[in-house]
Amino acid sequence: MKMTSVSESDRLRFVLAGLRSAGVSMMYQDADLVIRFAVNLPASWPLGGTLEGATDEAVFTPEHASSIIKAKRSVLETGKATTFEKYRDVDAKRYWYLLKIEPDTDADGKVVGVLTTITDIGDMKYRETVLKTLLRELSHRSKNLLAIIQSVASQTARHSQGLDDFLFSFRNRVQSMAQSQDLVTASDWRGAELFALTESQLHPLIGDLPVRFRMVGEDAYLFPNAALHLGLALHELTVDSLASGALGPAGGTVELSAEERRNEDNPAQLILTWKETYATPQQEPEAPAKPRNGFSGTVLGRIVPQALSAEVRHDIGADQMIYQLTIPDSQYELETQG
């Protein structure tokens, strides 16, 4: 088999192509920091033609040239390589580069020049910026979640009959928040769908949704804050219903409905209604009874409405119970129907 020889010019061309592909540039300077050759420097840099015989002022902006020259002189004096990052702003866009400056020595070990390798690290800096943004967002959301847990712990303790009662209720409520948090996390912190959130809250308490529980209307996409707080409200509504309502001794049906209301005078609002219709009347008051006190009443009547900037209606009658939230559009969105 005949081997094809590769000329030195071809070898150099291949090397330069590899450097361009990798986003790497190289520059060699003598002991006086005069540029003897430079290859593959970024096209956006103000080179003005050949650099042979020029200095760093012809390559780098004034704000960076002085620090780069100082670093190269240190390499010439100490013989120790150094690495640092620099950026260039071109047309309102920032480009980042990693500069690695290494000494060049002669046969006697004397430093006679410096070789600078310049690597485009724009993608790395972008990922770094995104990561920092995500970490700040995670820190912010974690603080909010811890504040909610602290409030839940405090309110649960205030309305508990003893340690066992506190531990039982608190664990269930933390588990409720964990269910909501799982949905929010799975969506990359964008939020959770209303009906999926409802199922996740009811399943640990009653298993698969029974026939007498149904969900109708708009399956709104809840933003993270709304998902976490509505999850807690749905948990309390379910616990109350199992204790004394339609899912428990009263029997009957439960309907969760969601409908967006729009008009010219007001922004869009989501009307979210939990309605229980009892099979067995619970009382015969002349007027609807007030919601009961305790943690459940605090969550449903104050904590959740305040967190969502929502209006609340909570009516309990002999034959039915209605809990309704009027939620502003800053807390949800609806998928566009196409």
What whole-number distance in Å separates Cα of residue 92 and Cα of residue 287? 67
pLDDT band at 338 (very low <50, low <70, confident <90, very high): very low
CATH number, position 320: 3.30.565.10
Give the pLDDT confidence score for residue 287 in this predicted structure. 42
Asked if the model's pLDDT at residue 45 lies above 90, the reply is no
pLDDT band at 219 (very low <50, low <70, confident <90, very high): very high
What whole-number distance in Å separates Cα of residue 154 and Cα of residue 161? 14
Give the pLDDT confidence score for residue 15 in this predicted structure. 63
Give the pLDDT confidence score for residue 159 in this predicted structure. 76
3-state secondary structure of 33: coil
The two three-digit tokens of residue 18, written as one number = 């590899």
Q: Mean pLDDT over all residues of the chain? A: 85
More confident position, 183 or 335: 183
Q: Are residues 269 and 155 in the same domain?
A: yes
State pLDDT tens for residues 286-305. 444 445 557 788 889 998 99
Asked if the model's pLDDT at residue 234 lies above 60, the reply is yes
Last residue of a domain, one of 120, 145, 166: 120
Q: Are residues 107 and 135 in the same domain?
A: no
In a domain, 145, yes or no: yes
> Smallest Cα–Cα separation from 209: which of 217, 200, 221, 218?
200
Q: Are residues 186 and 294 in the same domain?
A: yes
Give the pLDDT confidence score for residue 289 in this predicted structure. 47
> Smallest Cα–Cα separation from 105: which of 53, 160, 31?
31
What whole-number distance in Å separates Cα of residue 209 and Cα of residue 96? 55
The two three-digit tokens of residue 211, written as one number = 């026939």
pLDDT band at 199 (very low <50, low <70, confident <90, very high): very high
Q: Are residues 114 and 130 in the same domain?
A: no
Least confident of 11-20, 57-66, 201-210: 11-20
Say whether pTM exceeds 0.75. Answer: no
Give the pLDDT confidence score for residue 8 in this predicted structure. 66
Asked if the model's pLDDT at residue 337 lies above 80, the reply is no
Give the pLDDT confidence score for residue 47 in this predicted structure. 55
Q: Are residues 101 and 129 in the same domain?
A: no
Decide: 9 and 49 in contact? Cβ < 8 Å. no
> Smallest Cα–Cα separation from 328: which of 275, 266, 273, 274?
266
In a domain, 263, yes or no: yes
State pLDDT tens for residues 307-320. 999 999 999 988 99
Give the pLDDT confidence score for residue 89 in this predicted structure. 81
Q: Are residues 90 and 134 in the same domain?
A: no
Parent domain of 44: 10-120
What whole-number distance in Å separates Cα of residue 321 and Cα of residue 274? 8
Question: How many CB atoms are located within 10 Å of the residue 292 CB?
Answer: 12
Give the pLDDT confidence score for residue 39 in this predicted structure. 81
3-state secondary structure of 236: helix
What whole-number distance in Å separates Cα of residue 271 and Cα of residue 287? 24
What whole-number distance in Å separates Cα of residue 225 and Cα of residue 81? 51
Decide: 43 and 28 in contact? Cβ < 8 Å. no
Decide: 145 and 181 in contact? Cβ < 8 Å. yes
Instruction: Using a pLDDT cut of 90, give the percent of the chain over it.
Output: 43
Q: Are residues 134 and 116 in the same domain?
A: no
Q: Are residues 148 and 107 in the same domain?
A: no
Question: How many domains, in total, are found in the chain?
Answer: 2
Q: Are residues 19 and 159 in the same domain?
A: no
Helices 122-158 + 224-244 axis angle, to 10: 30
The two three-digit tokens of residue 246, written as one number = 């339609």
